[in-house]
Amino acid sequence: MDNSNVALITKMVLEAIEQQKSSAENGYLVPVGVSARHIHLTQEHVEALFGEGYQLTKKKELMGGQYASNETVTIVGLKLRAIENVRILGPVRSKSQVEVSATDAIRLGVKAPIRESGNTAGSAAVAVVGPKGVIYLNEGCIIAKRHIHMAPKDAMAAGVHDGDIVSVKADNERGTVFNHVQIRVDDSFTLEMHIDTDEANASKIATGDTVRIIC
């Protein structure tokens, strides 16, 4: 390797280090996606709700190979309190899961815990009604823990790792600081922090706004 190549590589490395220092000092900027209530279903449950052999149809592509489907269902909590038009996200999963806000949980009359997606053990029970049938989940209704999706390059630039817990700040008129934000890193992810509708409304944040990782 000649001296000119060595000098170029050294310059690039130093610039990357300075960029990471600047990000750490000023706070790494992250766009926000506000996540509305939705449901993930197994294929067995899709068929129970929509009919034998039924396949979800795609409405909108999401990150990580997921998509919003055209299909919706009604979720029913205690005392037959219901919320209609809950969007199904595909593709199908190995376990069904309902994600709601705290306000939704009150409306349904269920005690949904704050959990990372997929951690449904001992969570709230809920019924799901489709056009062709009904299923009852003994557990599976949660309030999703706020989190940031990142590709590995974003995590490196921000100086964080998969599973880290950070705080972020919204520099708007509310000036809200969110603690206990989990970092989730995967090659398929696009940089975005996910909060639910309650958190968004309280902090006056909309999809497309940005926040900064502060620690």
pTM of the model: 0.83
Read off the pLDDT of each residue in 191-202 and give the average, rounded to a whole number: 97
Q: What is the pLDDT of residues 79-135, one digit of tens each?
A: 889 999 999 999 999 999 999 999 999 999 999 999 999 999 999 999 999 999 999
pLDDT exceeds 50 at position 23: no
- How far apart, in whole angstroms, are the C-alpha atoms of residue 45 and residue 130? 10
* 27-34+146-213 fold: Barwin-like endoglucanases (2.40.40)
Q: What is the pLDDT of residues 134-176, one digit of tens each?
A: 999 999 999 999 999 999 999 999 999 999 999 999 999 999 9
Read off the pLDDT of each residue in 26-36 and give the average, rounded to a whole number: 92
Residue in 174, 160, 173 with CA at minimum distance from that of residue 213: 160
DSSP conformation class of 33: E
Confidence grade of residue 2 (pLDDT, cut at 50, 70, 90):
low
Q: What is the pLDDT of residue 64?
A: 87
Q: What is the pLDDT of residue 22?
A: 47
Confidence grade of residue 24 (pLDDT, cut at 50, 70, 90):
very low
Average pLDDT, the chain: 92
Tokens representing 166 are: 């950070």
Q: What is the pLDDT of residue 168?
A: 97
Q: Alpha carbon of 146 to those of 79, 135, 165, 203: distances in Å? A: 29, 28, 10, 14
Extract the runs of DSSP E, i.e. beta strands, from the chain: 28-35, 38-40, 58-61, 67-76, 82-90, 97-99, 114-115, 124-129, 134-144, 147-150, 165-169, 177-185, 192-196, 210-213
- How far apart, in whole angstroms, are the C-alpha atoms of residue 94 and residue 43? 8
Enumerate the domain spans of the chain: 27-34+146-213, 35-144
Read off the pLDDT of each residue in 61-85 and give the average, rounded to a whole number: 95
